Chains A and B, each alone.
Chain A
Amino acid sequence: MTSTTIKTLTLTATLAALAGMATAQEVRVYNWSDYIDEELLAKFESETGLKLVYDVFDSNEVLETKMLAGGSGYDVVVPTGTFLQRQISAGAFQKLDKSKLPNIDNMWDVIADRTAKYDPGNEYAINYMWGTTGLGVNEAKVKELLGDDAPVTSWDLVFKPENMEKLAECGVMFLDAPAEMIPAALNYIGEDPDSHDPDVIAKAEGVYMPIRDHIQKFHSSEYINALANGEICVAVGWSGDILQARDRAAEADNGVEISYYAPDEGAQMWFDQMAIPVDAPNPEGAHTFLNFIMDAQNMAAASNYVYYANGNKASQEFLAEDVIGDPAIYPSQAALDNTFTTTPYPPRVQRVVTRLWTKIKSGT
């Protein structure tokens, strides 16, 4: 062996070792967009000495495809409960090592009981944030069109064709999320929102067909700005997003006032859960990140920033008054009892739901 080869080999070995070290020192997190106070990311790096790679996504479907294809390279991901359940059954996640998560004692049993429906015993995931799906309303504009007794706290506002006909003038957007919009319609007509029976699901068509022409757009993030700058007057969306719209409008001081309502007939409650992929390159670092997030003050900082409630009981004393005191974020017990949850659709039913949603959106 010549000395050059030896040098090359040594160099390669050193580089490989360095590369190995680099990944060991790195934690890769894949979370929803606009979903954390970015100061927390810097704080994590300075407290733990680990390098944090933080990427974002905006739909459960994109995350799910990455999880099921495998080799995503992420250490921590944040699917919503129903998606989490499906991915656990596909073997996409590893069980949490709770001995490495001392802060897990901070978690709130009320929420943990509910998330156990998706992840029995909460063995695979911890709750990050939760919220409801409901109505974002520009009350001044809506009352101008529908009168002072406009049903702003009821699904009647958007599911009654005569209301939508008038509201189309000031603009209405719906979430492009069939797994939430179909249950909302079923709940409205008195059916089981969590039904997996194709004949029951088909009844949602009757709710949407008369109003579909009056819906300006189906989209899962554009409504935040559209509500805030007065482009639309009603959005069916996620609680925290609508409260962010309320705040953006207040900051812009443009005279737009937005309110969020979890409708009287019942709103869907959902949970975004942090889990560790089965092939995570750095499960050790992933646990460090989860434990960091479950710290009471860190979790409170995140909620104070994004206006979503969290599943961390200990964080509540650090929450800002306009977060913990806002019933749109932390609903009363009576309001919580009025929410419903859903379970994931099996593949054949998922196809029926997607097909129905395409028909509602495109007319074909």
Chain B
Amino acid sequence: MRRFTLIAIPYLWLLALFLVPFLIVVKISLSDVAIARPPYMPQLDLSEGWAGLKAFFSELDFENFAFLTTDELYWKSYLSSLRIALISTLLALVIGYPIAYGMARAPDEWRPTLLMLVILPFWTSFLIRVYAWKVILAGDGVLNSVLVATGIISEPLQILNTNTAVFIGIVYTYLPFMILPIYSALEKMDDSLLEAAEDLGASRLSAFWMITIPLSKGGIIAGCFLVFIPSVGEFVIPELLGGSGTLMIGRVLWQEFFNNLDWPLASAVAVVLLAILVIPIMIFQRSEDRARERGE
């Protein structure tokens, strides 16, 4: 019984906080836009009983999903979001791994402080931190003032309102999500493995490639997912730091929802976004499971 309860809790959590909202979004994505409150049709009317339910389902259709294929804006935005998220994830990995490695190698008594320093930015609101980047990157901002004053550049750099600023914003915001899982994987690593490798004649570099990296693979994968997934759907960072040419699906979704007042189409965009993210992750998980089974 206790075991059942223990398993039931996470499933209930998933059901209430993921599946139910998702089904609501799917339902809206199959409806039609209308000038009403809320702005879509049909509305589920349970007072009509069975007939009402049948009428409700007969009015749902996949029109909105079909519409997504008719305008290049949508697939271009999905691709551009995936590209921006991918580049940001790689940058976060390249920057985050050495930081995590340094932390894991630091003396025991330093580690809690270092860990604290990584988490510290979360004490300030995410929105304020992104706004701070606007101040830093602006044409007359902190960065340009310093660079011009020291004579490194003569003309201020145009960074704000470009994709570069979006990369900076995403990498900065999600870097802790890369560092923490890698750190926790590296921290558990047994140092004697490295000693053994050196005793057997491996150079420090090859010991790193053959032992440290494979043993931290779990952390790397977790970190990459934690950075990649929220980056794809990011809205605030491209909106505040990006230019009008920064195409991201989060902004398209906002436009459908607020400017066009088309909740059904916005929901369709969201459902496709979820599919783009969830399906590859499930395939990846399955292949990992198979590999593990073969390994046993």
On A, residues with C-beta under 8 Å from B are: 59, 61-62, 64-65, 67-70, 86, 89-92, 178, 217-218, 231, 347, 350-351, 354-355, 358, 361-364
Contact = CB atoms under 8 A, between A and B. Distances in A.
Interface string B217-253: 0000000000000000000000000011111000000
A354 B244 contact: no
A347 B35 contact: yes
B33 interface: yes
A218 B244 contact: yes
A364 B74 CA distance: 10
Contacts of B257: 65
The 3 lowest CB-CB distance pairs between A and B, nearest first, are A61-B258, A361-B244, A354-B259
Interface stretch (B36-44, B173-181, B277-285): B36-44
A91 B257 CA distance: 19
Interface in B182-207: none
Interface string B247-267: 100000001011111100000
Contacts of B36: 68, 90-91
Interface of B: 33-39, 71-73, 76, 139-140, 161, 243-247, 255, 257-262
B245 A351 contact: no
Contacts of A231: 139-140
Nearest to A171: B139
Contact of A362 (B33, B247, B260, B261): B247
Contacts of A89: 35
Contact of B37 (A92, A355, A361): A92
A70 B244 contact: no
A354 B37 contact: no
B42 to A, nearest CB: 16
A351 to B, nearest CB: 5
Given A363-B245, A364-B72, A347 B258 contact: no
Contacts of A218: 244
Nearest to A64: B261
Nearest to A360: B244
A199 B76 CA distance: 25
Contacts of B243: 217
A102 B35 CA distance: 33
Nearest to B252: A358
B44 to A, nearest CB: 16
13 contacts: A64-B258, A68-B38, A68-B39, A69-B37, A69-B38, A90-B39, A217-B243, A347-B33, A347-B35, A347-B261, A355-B71, A361-B245, A364-B245
B244 A61 contact: no
Contact of B247 (A217, A355, A364): A364
A202 B223 CA distance: 46
Given A65-B261, A364-B72, 4 more contacts: A61-B259, A61-B261, A350-B260, A354-B259
B247 A178 contact: no
A359 B258 CA distance: 17
A350 B35 CA distance: 12
B262 A90 contact: no
Most buried by A among B35, B161, B262: B35
A350 B244 contact: no
Contacts of A68: 36-39, 261
A253 to B, nearest CB: 19
A364 B73 contact: yes
Nearest to B246: A362
B72 A62 contact: no
Nearest to A350: B260
A27 B139 CA distance: 42
A362 B161 contact: no
Nearest to A361: B244
A358 B258 contact: no
Given A64-B261, A347-B261, A362 B245 contact: yes
A358 B38 contact: no
A217 B138 CA distance: 13
Contacts of B247: 362, 364
A161 to B, nearest CB: 18
A363 B80 CA distance: 14
B244 A347 contact: no
Contacts of B39: 68, 90
A361 B245 CA distance: 7
Contacts of A69: 37-38
Contacts of A347: 33-35, 260-262
Contact of A90 (B37, B71, B76): B37
A351 B244 contact: no
Contacts of A65: 257-258, 261
Given A65-B261, A362-B247, A354 B255 contact: yes
Nearest to A362: B245
A68 B28 CA distance: 15
Most buried by B among A64, A90, A350, A351: A351
Nearest to B255: A354
B259 A178 contact: yes
Contact of A91 (B37, B259, B262): B37
Most buried by B among A67, A178, A362: A362
Nearest to B257: A65
Given A70-B37, A364-B72, A358 B262 contact: no
A136 to B, nearest CB: 19
A351 B38 contact: no
A217 B161 contact: yes
Contacts of B259: 61, 178, 350, 354
A358 B166 CA distance: 19
